[in-house]
Amino acid sequence: MCHTETAPTVLLGPQLNRKLSRPMARKVLTSLKSILKDAQRRGNVAQNVAAAVVIKKDKRTENVKLKVGVDIPTTQEVGVIIGAAKGRWRPVLMTAAFVGLRASELRGLRWKDVDLKGEKIHVRQRADRLNQIGRPKSAAGDREIPLRPIVLQTLREWKLVCPKGDLGLVFPNGDGGIENLSNILQRGFQPAQVTAGVMVPAKDEHGKPLRDGNGKPVFVAKYYGIHSLRHFHASWLINRKADGGLELPPKEVQTRLGHSSITMTLDVYGHLFPRGREDVEITDLERSLSLA
């Protein structure tokens, strides 16, 4: 009897009942409140039933530090993910990883704000979850970011075939309009991870592994949101030059990420900054004392 080897089941996007992190749940709730508020103003609903809803902090997980390989893609993972990205998704993911823009900033980025000759991007606007164009999240969000040679080359090539539209967007949809975040995730980021083999076993709401009808494990893309590429960018800015990073000081990292305060930068990424050479210096001191 002949047995046929079947490929593992892979789930993407809405096919997976995946729990949202608290920060992501807060963002979704904020969007829902905005939608209902607008609907109430138009007279389409009697009240904003989400207005009083809050998402409480989980003291067990609220202060958990981001981990490389868990929350932050490794350098090797980013390389294979971008390498596996097809068509218009490659320049999007390349820019997310090596420029560190928020998803809203990527979606609202205009060609007039990309200086290919000056080798920099000026962030001046964003597209929110309702596809509304507006100013950056804060005054600090309006910033200039230098471009790496590989990003410059990718954007030059992409500009030649980029769909044209009245908004002049760098990463528009096929009609030149504002691209939906769900498309970037479900058609670009997640499939690229699957193609690259950057996957993890899927789990149900109780934390148990999911299996398909044949009893085989079900796999999903390892990193759900594109914000993980922004985390990677932050870690690259922070890492020592000897480890392939830029080794920038906290204030410069804050500026490039567009954080409104240095406190925000340190709260999220402070544990990634090099701790110096105290252990080496102490060892040297002990050696010198023993020889005295």
Distance CA 69, CA 269 (A): 15
User: What average pLDDT does this structure show over 194-206?
Assistant: 92
Distance CA 289, CA 292 (A): 5
Per-residue confidence at 77, pLDDT binned at 50, 70, 90?
very high
Question: Which of 196-200, 202-206, 270-274 comes out lowest in average pLDDT?
Answer: 202-206
Is there a contact between 170 and 154 (Cβ–Cβ < 8 Å)?
A: no
pLDDT, position 29: 79
User: What average pLDDT does this structure show over 219-228?
Assistant: 94
Helix and strand totals (H; E) in the chain: 11, 8
Distance CA 250, CA 261 (A): 11
Domains of the chain: 78-199+223-272 (1.10.443.10)
Distance CA 155, CA 178 (A): 18
pLDDT, position 195: 96
Per-residue confidence at 26, pLDDT binned at 50, 70, 90?
confident
Please state the three-class secondary structure of 167-226 as a single string.
CCECCCCCCCCCCCHHHHHHHHHHHHHHHHCCEEECECCCCCECECCCCCEEEEECCCCC
CA-CA-CA-CA dihedral for 136, 221, 201, 230, to nearest 10? -40
Please, what's the b/e burial string for 170-207 (b: 16 or more CB within 10 A of its CB; e: otherwise)?
A: bbbbeeeebbebeebbbbbbbbbbbbbebbeebeeeee
pTM (predicted TM-score)? 0.78
User: What average pLDDT does this structure show over 172-197?
Assistant: 96
Of 199, 230, 188, which Cα lies nearest the Cα of 85? Answer: 188
Q: Which residues contact 235 (CB under 8 A, 6 or more apart)?
A: 68, 72, 245, 269, 272
pLDDT of 250-283, one tens digit each?
A: 999 999 999 999 999 999 999 999 875 545 555 5
Can you read off the two tokens belonging to residue 287?
A: 């050696």
pLDDT, position 21: 59
| pLDDT > 80? residue 2 | no
pLDDT, position 75: 94
The whole-chain average pLDDT of the chain stands at: 87
Per-residue confidence at 70, pLDDT binned at 50, 70, 90?
very high
